[in-house]
Amino acid sequence: MRFYTKLIVCLLLCFLSMPLCAQISCLNASRNIRIGLVSQGLPDTWKIEPSSGFIEIFDQNKRQSVYSGKAAEIVITAMKGGKMKVAVDARKSLYYFSNELLFSAVGRPPINLKVRAGGRKSFSYRGSIAIFPQSGGLRGVNVVDIEDYLKSVVPSEIFNRAPDAAQQAQTIAARTYAIRNLSRHSDKDNFQLCDKVHCQVYSGIAREIKAASKAVIETAGKILIYGNSPANTVYHSNCGGYIIDSRAAWKGASVPYLIGHFDGISGHKPFCYYGKLIKTNSLKGKLPAPQKKIRIAQLSSAAKASTHKNFGHRVGMCQDGAIGMAAIGYGFRQILAFYYPGTQLATMRYAVPTGKPVEDRPIVVASLPQTTPVSLAAPPNPTQVNALRRSGKTRKPGSIKGALRQISENGSGYTAVGLRKLFWTPGEPGISRNIY
Ligand SMILES: [Zn+2]
Ligand SMILES: [Zn+2]
């Protein structure tokens, strides 16, 4: 009986899984998005294994179930004339489907699907898998909750051991990028985003890590908006010290929040310089204290030279810079306000279980940029960071090594927890080896 109840719930969910649209006003329509598994090509066969041992196969066009019940392995094979056949555990065969079929694991959690395209290696996905004939082969699409999608995308896009605030900023940038680009592929493709660099790299459950999943949950539904649309939250690996204007990189119209500026606090080395040090386990140089106001300085033509090697297009958020900012105590709001000045943080309705919609009054994280300083709220733990730095009599005050060690010894607190996790996990490789 319980199984059938779950089946009904699952069917209802299938009916409700309408594509998200890119307008802010209807972002609450559904959480499910369609990710084309284009990295798997267009093979003749797909094999699907439901983790629960039960499968629901649903004809998307006829809106009816074609099979539901026990299944260890389902093989979908292309037939002549744009049709496909489905074999369930080699005991039951279903023929002549030209419509999209949606495969969903049902039953006891964990509910996911192990998928093998042709002779390739298998991948496991959350959500459902849709298969349909296309250009002589079979296309696979992962129909997945956007929040689950992000759990896999974020670790593919940023350093695994990046501090919490950098993970959160990256998550919001990735979520906004996904929402903004839902119409990137044509209707003919029949999916919204692909799983390659073209959209954002996505390889399913195997790529998920705890720190990123935590960041996804903590920032659930949050995106950056400018005016009434999702902002163009482009990001790159390392700007080399100076973020460049989007016009300098790609021509086109000026984007107010993608302006050129120094990546840091004036008088100090750029944030990404420290971020790079953190990633390469090299602890040298002075760590700047977080400041309440960060001046978004316009660049003079003489100041555009890189201070170190850059990597990426240098527009928008510098990921190593975000890591550097997070390491000295800035939160994700400040990181995003610094790299996308003038944007606002909004929460999509789907992320709010009950009560009033929150994006009617977006949280303002930054005022408009230009030459005046951008006002920012105090970082989560600046007092602690500064107090620790000042009280470090036995150690060199101001050095990264000293400051980080003091923070780790001080115990609880946002910064301390983030850093300890990053640097002092016993038995884990990383910077800890250089510290002790
Ligand atoms: Zn794409
Ligand atoms: Zn940078």
pLDDT of residue 170: 97
| Separation of alpha carbons 428 and 133, rounded Å | 46
Ligand lying nearest the CA atom of residue 34: 1
CA of 340 to the centre of ligand 1 (A): 23
Ligand lying nearest the CA atom of residue 275: 2
| Separation of alpha carbons 242 and 300, rounded Å | 11
CB-based contact 105:69 (threshold 8 Å): no
Element holding 83 (H helix, E strand):
strand 83-88
CA of 369 to the centre of ligand 2 (A): 18
pLDDT of residue 390: 53
Could you please state the CATH topology (level 3) that the domain comprising 2-145 is classified under.
Tumour Suppressor Smad4 (2.60.200)
CA of 295 to the centre of ligand 2 (A): 15
**Could you give the residue range(s) of every CATH 2.60.200 domain in the chain?**
2-145
CA of 274 to the centre of ligand 2 (A): 9
pLDDT of residue 353: 54
pLDDT of residue 359: 42
Protein residues placing their CB within 5 Å of the ion ligand 1: 194, 198-199
Report which of 283, 243, 434, 408 is spatially closest to residue 274, judged by C-alpha positions.
283
CA of 364 to the centre of ligand 2 (A): 24
pLDDT of residue 194: 95
CA of 328 to the centre of ligand 2 (A): 15
CA of 25 to the centre of ligand 2 (A): 34
**What is the mean pLDDT of each successive set of 10 residues along the chain, which is 436 residues long?**
48 39 37 90 96 87 86 94 92 89 82 91 93 93 92 91 94 93 86 92 94 94 85 92 88 88 86 86 67 70 64 89 91 93 83 48 40 31 44 46 47 29 23 21
Report which of 137, 97, 141, 105 is spatially closest to residue 118, judged by C-alpha positions.
137
CA of 101 to the centre of ligand 2 (A): 45
| Separation of alpha carbons 247 and 315, rounded Å | 9
CA of 38 to the centre of ligand 1 (A): 9
CB atoms within 10 A of CB 168: 27
Please report where in the chains the tokens 């297009």 appear, as a residue: 313
pLDDT of residue 123: 96
**Percentages of the chain per state (helix, strand, coil), in multiples of 5:** 30, 25, 45
CA of 197 to the centre of ligand 1 (A): 7
